[in-house]
Chain A
Amino acid sequence: MQPILSMESITKRFPGVIANDGVNFDLHAGEIHALVGENGAGKSTLMNVLFGLYQPEEGKIIYKGEEITIDEPNHAIKLGIGMVHQHFKLVPPLTVTENIVLGSEPKRGLKFDKRKASKDVEDLSKKYGLAVDPKAKIENISVGMQQRVEILKTLYRGADIIILDEPTAVLTPQEVHEFFDILKELTKQGKSIIFITHKLNEVMEIANRATVMRRGKTMGTVNISDTSPTQLAEMMVGRQVLLRVEKAEAKPGKEVLKVESLSAMDDRNLSAVNNVSLNIREGEILGIAGVEGNGQSELIEVLTGLRKPTSGEVFLNGKKITGLTSKQIKNHQLGYIPEDRHKRGLVLDFSISENVILGIHNRKPFAKGVNLNYNEINKHADNLIEKYDVRCPNRQVHVRSLSGGNQQKIIIARELEVDPVLIIASQPTRGVDIGAIEFIHSQIIQARDKGKAVLLVSAELQEVMSLSDRIAVIYEGEIVDVLDAKEATEEKLGLLMAGIRNNEK
């Protein structure tokens, strides 16, 4: 088959790193092509080159039989290449329609032709089976919907090739299914799709071919029908990867965290956490399973002091911590991996050194009186970079320039190294590659085996099931049941997560 697009020996360097090192990539018309590889392997960079955001130093791009250079995104769009970024680029107060046409609005005379815009959007959403509410504001719709808007945006501009950078990282399992249906529909209509993901089961389910990248190079392209997750994983990491979690029997000790009839509101002042009671003991991992948006985030914010509860009590090691500030709670030796690493976990325009002390910057040895002790801070940063295998040019780069997975490793490293008694891990492996997932999982289990209590919240049911010793299921802010992990099955949890109790008491 003649490829519609091929990228040949693309090289792109950043100060201190070669993000793409002679990369070859080709795309067939009408296929779904998965692009996989470790964090920092250069996937986003390669796609940014294709989309005209970066200029490669070497290499050429051949598109529909002609060699082309793409100087800027507008040019890529004109050529029929559309991209949905890892982090969406929508304008929250504008409506769905406005966002879709933004930048290439239909006009009548000099005026924005609103009627035509609505009609175009409606037609488009019908044609590709992408249902959206054209009049809704972006800020009021779910992440899954926002993603549809992003896809419609590319289609509106006439994209034949659609690049999707980690589109499923933010979706719930239900949304992922719908999303895959959309992808199939798009390819049926002749679109070609490049799909970046870290989830090998997704690759196996939806892709026709996969290209594997490692440390800026392509390791090869395989047909999905001829490969297996283990083979892909090995190509990505260069060694065998445990796709299963191995852990010993838990030996729970005394109670560390006790939550009593806790309730809290969300940002819109609606009840989000409703009369929740929980406890976690030393050397035990309690997982919270639930569809996103059922109060998990608010519960954790209350536990970590970022949100005030309306009623109820929280005890850490027997001491009441209800209503304390996040700083005071942190000082009770809490390690907290927040769900949103960009908003909460990192100051993106700080260096790695500055980020590894966030929250512990007032403690010895990082603070010496009123001063920061840069010798110690830098030593600490170098240690963590090495121990947690953070891929970066040096400790002085802004974490903004790191790949998503490496950003996550910095947070994990910082929070596990404070020697906490309780670890709260929220979506600890979101957007992280399989090698790093294996690593993070083993770190969490090690922490447990050292007698730490762990509260785990994850949208990945598999992750909750394989890591936890006990699983609490949350639905509309209430804990509907707590199961022993050994008794939990996907079906059982699925029913509970939908709010259906197996034996109504």
Chain B
Amino acid sequence: MRKEDIYKNIKELLVPVGAIALGLLVGAIIILMIGGNPIEAYKALFIGAFGDKNKIANTLARSTPLIFSGLAVAFAFRCGLFNIGVEGQMFVGALAAAYVGANVTGLPKVIHLPLTVISAMLAGGLWAAVPGVLKAKRGVHEVINTIMMNFISYALIAFLVTDVLRAPGQTPRTVGILPSAQLARLSELVNWSNSRLNTGFLIGLAACAVIYYLLWKTTVGYEVRSVGLSPMAAEYGGINSNQKIILAMVISGALGGLAGAERILGFDRALILGFSPGFGFEGIAVALLGRNHPVGVLLGALLFGALSNGGAWMNFSTDVPVDLIVVLQAVIIFFVAADQIVRRLFPKKKKDWGVV
């Protein structure tokens, strides 16, 4: 890497890292105010997330859906779209995975598993195509539409899981995924782990690489980014921005669908109503923290996964309640969004925000 590139990358990292540091600082003050010991609490947080091999595996497992949802938000954003509907796209993806994974029988794994994963992507993609088409053809704002689509998906998943697809038993859940459609868990591969971390994580890493390649190495990615940065210039350059908007929404939705597939096929092995604590919405935070770059998204997802798992540990090994994690996440996001505050606090690069 050349000197200027290194310099540029450091500059990119400044805001997220600064925001995390400030978040931890604010968190420490809050812990002090409620009479706790910040050092103890953060130690517990760290141990809970990375204390041993199994805990690390669990952290990765918690991060996996965030990689997909973060990528989904980031990709749409590169095309200038704010996809708030990843949660809903994930739900319909989960429904498709749960149905195809449990009800299509007699297929070998090499066919059944890819088929199931692809159906989840298709479902998510089609779900997101609706707001995409409305935006492109009618100019309806995608934020409104994706939120509306979320509500529909909540109702849909509740209805289908409690009624149509419900497995016998107390909790509303679908019947188990057939072995031929399951993503292998770590606990099944090694004996030291009971983690439900599964090969979906590897799919997540691959997705980061694919999205990176798509955005920066292909002509389609070039067009998507042009539309996102300057729709007028894109139009001048002969780029059909409506087409790109629909495409970006479909790809974003497909990534949302993958988030659902990983949970259903690997982590839970069935669709349990309420399986998501809001992965789709956390994805917005992850994308923001990761500056809409696949590598940033990966790191952001790992951080949020670690905070969640570490927070649970902190909750029961110290007096600090798990709610602190939500505060931490909120403060970090606040500082990322208000990046000028961070830039001013770390004055090295002050004033070069370039007005010509």
Chain A: residues with CB nearer than 8 A to chain B? 14-16, 44, 48, 53-55, 72, 85-86, 304, 306, 325-328, 330-331, 336, 338, 343-350, 354, 357-359, 361-362, 367, 370-372, 374, 393-394, 396, 400-401, 403-404
Q: How far is the CB of A495 from chain B (nearest CB, A)?
A: 35
Question: CB distance B233 to A86 under 8 Å?
Answer: no
Can you give 11 contacting A-B residue pairs, CB < 8 Å?
A: A54-B351, A326-B238, A331-B238, A344-B236, A345-B236, A359-B236, A359-B238, A371-B218, A394-B4, A401-B354, A403-B356
Q: How far is the CA of A162 from the CA of B351 in the complex (A)?
A: 22
**With A55-B350, A347-B226 in contact, do A338 and B236 touch (Cβ < 8 Å)?**
yes
Question: CB distance B229 to A349 under 8 Å?
Answer: yes
9 nearest A-B pairs in the assembled complex, by CB-CB distance: A327-B238, A359-B237, A358-B237, A344-B236, A347-B230, A343-B232, A347-B233, A326-B238, A349-B229
**With A361-B219, A367-B219, A370-B220 in contact, do A53 and B355 touch (Cβ < 8 Å)?**
yes
**Which residues on the A side are within 8 Å of B222 (C-beta)?**
354, 357, 361, 372
**Which residues on the A side are within 8 Å of B236 (C-beta)?**
304, 306, 326, 336, 338, 344-345, 358-359
Query: Is B7 part of the binding interface, using a Cβ–Cβ cutoff of 8 Å?
Result: yes
**With A327-B239, A372-B222 in contact, do A54 and B233 touch (Cβ < 8 Å)?**
no
- Neighbour of A344 across the interface among B233, B239, B354, CB < 8 A: B233
Q: How far is the CA of A396 from the CA of B4 in the complex (A)?
A: 10
Those of B116-158 within 8 Å (CB) of chain A: none
Question: CB distance A362 to B219 under 8 Å?
Answer: yes
Query: Is B262 part of the binding interface, using a Cβ–Cβ cutoff of 8 Å?
Result: no
Q: Which chain B residue has the least Cβ–Cβ distance from A344?
A: B236
Q: How far is the CB of A56 from chain B (nearest CB, A)?
A: 10
**Which residues on the A side are within 8 Å of B352 (C-beta)?**
14, 54
**Which residues on the A side are within 8 Å of B354 (C-beta)?**
400-401
Q: How far is the CB of B210 from chain A (nearest CB, A)?
A: 13
Q: How far is the CB of A402 from chain B (nearest CB, A)?
A: 8
**Which residues on the A side are within 8 Å of B240 (C-beta)?**
325, 327
Interface secondary structure of B, over-half rule: helix
Q: How far is the CA of A331 from the CA of B233 in the complex (A)?
A: 17
Q: How far is the CA of A306 from the CA of B351 in the complex (A)?
A: 38
**Which residues on the B side are within 8 Å of A372 (C-beta)?**
217-219, 222
**With A371-B219, A372-B217 in contact, do A306 and B229 touch (Cβ < 8 Å)?**
no
Q: Which chain B residue has the least Cβ–Cβ distance from A343?
A: B232
Q: How far is the CB of A11 from chain B (nearest CB, A)?
A: 15
Q: How far is the CB of B225 from chain A (nearest CB, A)?
A: 8
**Which residues on the B side are within 8 Å of A344 (C-beta)?**
232-233, 235-236
Q: Which chain B residue has the least Cβ–Cβ distance from A394?
A: B4
Chain B: residues with CB nearer than 8 A to chain A? 4, 7, 217-220, 222-223, 225-226, 229-230, 232-240, 350-352, 354-356
Question: CB distance B356 to A44 under 8 Å?
Answer: yes
Question: CB distance A306 to B219 under 8 Å?
Answer: no
Q: How far is the CA of A367 from the CA of B223 in the complex (A)?
A: 12
**With A327-B240, A371-B217 in contact, do A347 and B355 touch (Cβ < 8 Å)?**
no
Question: CB distance B7 to A358 under 8 Å?
Answer: no
Q: How far is the CA of A347 from the CA of B223 in the complex (A)?
A: 11
Question: CB distance A401 to B218 under 8 Å?
Answer: no
**Which residues on the B side are within 8 Å of A350 (C-beta)?**
225-226, 229
Q: How far is the CA of A367 from the CA of B218 in the complex (A)?
A: 8
Q: How far is the CA of A362 from the CA of B352 in the complex (A)?
A: 35
**Which residues on the A side are within 8 Å of B220 (C-beta)?**
370
Q: Which chain A residue has the least Cβ–Cβ distance from B351?
A: A55
Q: How far is the CA of A336 from the CA of B237 in the complex (A)?
A: 10
Question: CB distance A370 to B350 under 8 Å?
Answer: no
Most B C-beta atoms less than 10 A away, residue of A343, A345, A358, A401:
A358
Question: CB distance A326 to B235 under 8 Å?
Answer: yes
- Neighbour of A86 across the interface among B230, B239, B351, B356, CB < 8 A: B356
Q: How far is the CB of A182 from chain B (nearest CB, A)?
A: 24
Q: How far is the CA of A402 from the CA of B292 in the complex (A)?
A: 25
Q: How far is the CB of B337 from chain A (nearest CB, A)?
A: 19
Q: How far is the CB of B212 from chain A (nearest CB, A)?
A: 13
**Which residues on the A side are within 8 Å of B355 (C-beta)?**
48, 53, 85
**Which residues on the B side are within 8 Å of A370 (C-beta)?**
218-220
Q: Which chain B residue has the least Cβ–Cβ distance from A330?
A: B238
Q: How far is the CA of A472 from the CA of B100 in the complex (A)?
A: 68
Most A C-beta atoms less than 10 A away, residue of B220, B222, B223, B350:
B222
Q: How far is the CA of A113 from the CA of B81 in the complex (A)?
A: 39
Q: How far is the CA of A15 from the CA of B232 in the complex (A)?
A: 29
Q: Which chain A residue has the least Cβ–Cβ distance from B11?
A: A15
Q: Which chain A residue has the least Cβ–Cβ distance from B238?
A: A327
Q: How far is the CB of B248 from chain A (nearest CB, A)?
A: 16
Question: CB distance B351 to A53 under 8 Å?
Answer: yes
**Which residues on the B side are within 8 Å of A354 (C-beta)?**
222
Question: CB distance B4 to A348 under 8 Å?
Answer: no
Q: How far is the CA of A86 from the CA of B355 in the complex (A)?
A: 10
Q: How far is the CB of B242 from chain A (nearest CB, A)?
A: 11
Q: Which chain B residue has the least Cβ–Cβ distance from A393?
A: B4
Question: CB distance B223 to A361 under 8 Å?
Answer: yes
Q: How far is the CA of A359 from the CA of B234 in the complex (A)?
A: 8
Q: How far is the CA of A327 from the CA of B239 in the complex (A)?
A: 7
Q: How far is the CA of A327 from the CA of B236 in the complex (A)?
A: 8
Q: How far is the CA of A336 from the CA of B7 in the complex (A)?
A: 36
- Neighbour of B237 across the interface among A331, A361, A403, CB < 8 A: A361
- Neighbour of B229 across the interface among A86, A347, A374, CB < 8 A: A347
Question: CB distance A15 to B4 under 8 Å?
Answer: yes
Q: How far is the CB of B35 from chain A (nearest CB, A)?
A: 38
Q: How far is the CB of A155 from chain B (nearest CB, A)?
A: 21
Question: CB distance B219 to A347 under 8 Å?
Answer: no
**With A48-B355, A403-B356 in contact, do A347 and B234 touch (Cβ < 8 Å)?**
yes
Q: How far is the CB of A500 from chain B (nearest CB, A)?
A: 35
Q: Which chain A residue has the least Cβ–Cβ distance from B5?
A: A396
Q: How far is the CA of A265 from the CA of B76 in the complex (A)?
A: 33
